[in-house]
Structure 1
């Protein structure tokens, strides 16, 4: 890996964008590395959660336009921009720890994550129209779904960034913390999520995401037992371990199976 670092820490995969001099802007090689990293995370049953962040003062400033001009536009990897934005089949939670600028494709990467923990200095936006481009990495669709049409249109059509506090008010940021506390706050979220049975977490995420495609709550509730992650959870050892541990008055020992 030239442009990212990847570390497995227990059941957590930690991915760091590592082009700080370019504000972690993504070029073709970085796309390929992120695809490989997220593929490995998704395929490893012992990895239950991923965290993505950036080095330096930016989370990710989007596409490396200088590289695009020099090399031309290259196709994105199989799972789309940054190997993430079209990874619709990943039911494991992914947390974005946004340490600074998250613009264009960088904002789209954050929106594709399940939680956004943001430093106070973070800024978010889709400035593509300012350079004659369109945000085609899911940002237009995810933002409208996550904060509502009129608020999303305000950000999209103006191409103006918002700060972390405004992102929290709009509803796409989960929590804002002082810059110096970002790592600690992210770890608190990680530790809290890992207290749950991993297959329960995956079944919950899948039920939410697939349920949003159902015509209503009644249809979503009727369909949830047919979702693959629900069936995997119901047949798992962990589904039995939880009640057993509770009855025996001890902490559960999750196996992820």
Structure 2
């Protein structure tokens, strides 16, 4: 149901249930959770890409032919798709949206760091239309991304937005107009790999952990994060400036 491929330092995760529009049942959820656990624990893997099989759907959310989660304990520790509650994830995750991303599938997209999408991709949180709510971060993340009025037009009606609107709310970093969306995601992943892995992880930690704090206190507190301290004290912190001075590409050790 879920396939993984490693290309150098990049892990590609593909939801492979096209007959169900890549909707997730409990087994697929557990499988994704284990995959992201393994990705996080593998120091050789630095960026993950998550996508869906086929060209119709990224993920149609929860498979409604199976019982729906009624509380957080009904989902994997990492949240819906093993991703939406993974708040301490150190490494970047890119969503390569190849079609519809609705319900929990859209919540997975919102939990990613960079989103690239095919021109025909669409996004929605339609839970209210079937008597449910997007409680895997969808309400809160969309509200923070889009603001009160734009978010409420989606949350209270379940309406779907197209690519133009997705770009307008700042969701999508790039639309893959003339190439496969996975190729677009791989290009973004390669750009990330050009940077120090420890600096990338520390930067993500600062951005995600202090986003809602007052700027002054956050700027003080960021220096105390273990990820920041580790990056500053690493060999890579010396390698970067040395490579710049010597006009060569840095050789990142991740230590």
TM-score by length of 1: 0.94
State the 1:147 CA deviation. Answer: 1.5
Which residue pairs with 1:253 in the alignment? 251
C-alpha distance in 1, partners of 2:18/2:231?
40
1:7 and 2:5 matched: yes
State the 1:79 CA deviation. Answer: 1.4
Aligned runs of 1:50-129 on 2, under 5 Å? 50-56=48-54, 57-68=56-67, 75-129=74-128
For residues 105-129 of structure 1, give each alpha carbon's deviation from its aligned partner in whole angstroms, at most 9, with x where no partner exists.
0000000000110111100000001
1:134 and 2:133 matched: yes
SS of the equivalent of 1:102 reads: strand
Q: CA RMSD in A?
A: 1.6
State the 1:171 CA deviation. Answer: 1.2
SS of the equivalent of 1:162 reads: coil
Aligned runs of 1:159-170 on 2, under 5 Å? 159-170=158-169
Which residue pairs with 1:34 in the alignment? 32
C-alpha distance in 2, partners of 1:179/1:27?
33
C-alpha distance in 2, partners of 1:41/1:165?
32
Which residue pairs with 2:208 in the alignment? 209
C-alpha distance in 1, partners of 2:229/2:243?
21
Would you say how many aligned residue pairs link Structure 1 and Structure 2? 253
Residues 39, 179 of structure 1: alpha-carbon distance in 2 compared, 3 angstrom cutoff: farther
Question: 8 Å contact 1:121–1:179 — kept in the other structure?
Answer: no
SS of the equivalent of 2:117 reads: strand
C-alpha distance in 2, partners of 1:177/1:52?
15
Which residue pairs with 1:21 in the alignment? 19
Residue range with higher mean Cα deviation, 177-186 or 239-248? 177-186
State the 1:213 CA deviation. Answer: 3.0
Unpaired segments ≥5 residues, structure 1: none
Unpaired segments ≥5 residues, structure 2: none
State the 1:72 CA deviation. Answer: 9.3
Question: 8 Å contact 1:119–1:179 — kept in the other structure?
Answer: no
C-alpha distance in 2, partners of 1:72/1:225?
39
Which residue pairs with 1:228 in the alignment? 226
TM-score by length of 2: 0.95
Question: 8 Å contact 1:177–1:185 — kept in the other structure?
Answer: yes
